[in-house]
Amino acid sequence: MKVLHIVAGNLNGGAAKGAYCLHTGLRNVGVDSKILTNSSDIIGDPSVTSIGRGKKGKIRNIVRAQLDNLPSKFYKKREDRIFSTGFAGVRLTNHPLYGWADIIHLHWINNGFLSLWQIKKIKKPIVWTLRDMWPMTGGCHYSMSCENYQTGCGHCKQLNSKNSLDLSRFIVFLKAKTYPRSIKCVGISDWMSQIASRSYIFKDYDIRTIHNNIDTDDFFPVNKETAKRVLGIDIQKKNRTCWCAKHQCVLQGI
pLDDT at residue 224, as a whole number: 83
Residue 92 DSSP code: G
Using a pLDDT cut of 90, give the percent of the chain over it: 76
Q: What is the pLDDT of residue 254?
A: 37
Phi, then psi, of 167 in degrees rounded to 5: -60, -40
CB 107 within 8 A of CB 87: no
* pLDDT, tens digit (0-9, with 9 covering 90-100), for 40-59: 888 889 999 999 888 999 99
Q: Give residue-wise pLDDT tens across range 4-37.
A: 999 998 887 788 999 999 999 999 999 999 999 9
Amino acid identity, position 183: I
Name residue 1's amino acid.
Answer: M
Q: To which H or E segment does residue 168 belong? A: helix 167-178
Q: Are strands 48-50 and 32-37 parallel, antiparallel or unpaired?
A: parallel
The string of pLDDT tens digits covering residues 99-131 is 999 999 999 999 999 999 999 999 999 999 999
Predicted local distance difference test score (pLDDT) of residue 239: 57
Pick from 54-63, 201-210, 236-245 the range whose average pLDDT is largest.
201-210
Classify domain 2-209 by CATH number: 3.40.50
Of 61 and 216, the structure prediction assigns the larger pLDDT to: 61
* Nearest by Cα to 184 from 124, 137, 101: 124
Percent over 70 (pLDDT), the chain: 93
Band of the pLDDT at 242, cuts 50, 70, 90? Answer: low
Provide the 8-state DSSP code for 234: -
Give the pLDDT mean for 211-235: 84
pLDDT at 240 over 70: no
At residue 84, does pLDDT exceed 60?
A: yes
Strand partners, 184: 127, 206
**Residue 181 pLDDT > 50, yes or no?**
yes
Sign of the dihedral through C-alpha 111, 113, 119, 124: negative
Each domain of the chain, given as residue ranges in start order, spans 2-209, 215-254
DSSP secondary structure, 48-72, as one string:
EEESS-HHHHHHHHHHHHHHHHGGG
d(CA 65, CA 125) in angstroms, rounded, equals 27
**Arithmetic mean of pLDDT, 151-173:** 97
Query: What is the rounded average pLDDT for all residues in the chain?
Result: 91
Q: CA of 199: how far to CAs of 136, 146, 148, 159, in Å?
A: 6, 12, 9, 19
Report CA torsion sign: 184, 185, 188, 190: negative
